[in-house]
Amino acid sequence: MEAIEKAAIRAFENRTLAHLQEYFPGHCKLLGEEQMRRVIQFGWDKARHYELTAECCVRTYIEFMCLLGGRFDTNPLMPWAAEILNDRSSGDQIARGDRLYDRAHEYIRHLVPDYRDARGEPITARFVADLQQLRTAPDTPIPTSALPVFAGQLKARLKKVFPAKFDYVGEDNVTSLVANGIGDAARYDITGERGLTLFITLAFVLGPGFVDDPLMPWASTTLNDKRINTQKRRVDKLYIKAIGVLRRWWETPHEAGV
């Protein structure tokens, strides 16, 4: 029986991989088959945790990981995701999956103005240009007394670069994200303006779970690399990895549904 179950899981994995290669070719090219299989396995486990067991529901969950981030279910900027996933009141997983689908695409529709102009043309090159400005920002630790000012300036920056998303998720949620991001970054000895701005911007764009998201293995590898013994070197590497990956993802915004 165990062998039959493993064969069934592998067959599902193969079907899902083929589906992702068709609809998310950029992700598949960037990560490679082995890592995409890890993504599928991660999504399988997550979906089962929420009692989503029908193949269509599991596959939809994995698609939303590709659209919204591998840990979208715990992203505080998307509280509706956890609410829907944890609502077992109807007992109908298909209906719950449909609710998640509708809500996720409503969210994506509100983000479109950040990614495309009125003619529908991509405008994502400006994101990379904004991140490139961080190259000259200082790595000196920000004093605790100065963190409120820094947080306010960073919120203003996020609102300027991502106005549609900022307004849709709400300033209160962004305020919490920034405050939590400062604490999360400190765990990796990132305490300077350059590193904090990069770390929190990534959390805003990719979700706070980017640090251990199977869709972004470069983040965990960089942040947990014990051979990197200075903040400057860690931020340098995180910056290089992030720019390279995000540039390619932002060149294909249709894979993010926008």
Tell me the C-alpha distance between 173 and 128, whole Å: 24
Say yes or no to pLDDT of 60 above 60: yes
Distances (CA, A) of 180 to 98, 203, 209: 31, 10, 12
**Residue 18 binned pLDDT confidence (cut-offs 50, 70, 90):** very high
Rounded to the nearest angstrom, the gap between the alpha carbon of residue 103 and the centroid of all alpha carbons in its chain is 17
Amino acid found at 97: G
* pLDDT computed for residue 254 by the predictor: 60
* pLDDT computed for residue 257 by the predictor: 58
Say yes or no to pLDDT of 2 above 60: no
Mean pLDDT value across residues 221-247? 92
* pLDDT computed for residue 184 by the predictor: 97
Tell me the C-alpha distance between 158 and 58, whole Å: 33
* pLDDT computed for residue 69 by the predictor: 94
Terminal Cα distance for the chain, rounded: 43
* pLDDT computed for residue 239 by the predictor: 93
For the chain, domain boundaries = 2-111, 125-256
Tokens of 110: 């509100």
Tens-digit pLDDT profile for residues 69-87: 999 999 999 999 999 999 9
* pLDDT computed for residue 246 by the predictor: 80
Q: Output phi, psi for 69, to 5 deg.
A: 115, 145
**Average pLDDT over the chain, rounded to an integer:** 91
How much of the chain exceeds pLDDT 70, in percent?
95
Residue 219 is given by DSSP the state H
Neighbours of 198 (CB within 10 A): 21
Q: Output phi, psi for 59, to 5 deg.
A: -65, -40
* pLDDT computed for residue 105 by the predictor: 93
Distances (CA, A) of 47 to 59, 139, 164, 166: 9, 40, 29, 28
User: Which is nearest to 198 in space by CA: 215, 181, 222?
Assistant: 181
Residue 4 is given by DSSP the state H
Say yes or no to pLDDT of 89 above 90: no
User: Which is nearest to 138 in space by CA: 235, 19, 46, 32?
Assistant: 235
* pLDDT computed for residue 131 by the predictor: 83
Tokens of 93: 């997983």
Question: 9-13 contacts: CB < 8 A, separation 24 or more?
Answer: 9/44, 12/44, 12/55, 12/58, 13/37, 13/40, 13/41, 13/44
**Residue 68 binned pLDDT confidence (cut-offs 50, 70, 90):** very high
Mean pLDDT value across residues 88-116? 90
Contact criterion met (CB below 8 Å) for 39 and 70: yes
pTM equals: 0.91
Burial class for 77, CB neighbours closer than 10 Å (0-12, 13-18, 19+):
buried
Region of poorest pLDDT, from 83-87, 90-94, 161-165, 179-183 = 90-94
Tokens of 67: 């659209």
How much of the chain exceeds pLDDT 90, in percent?
77
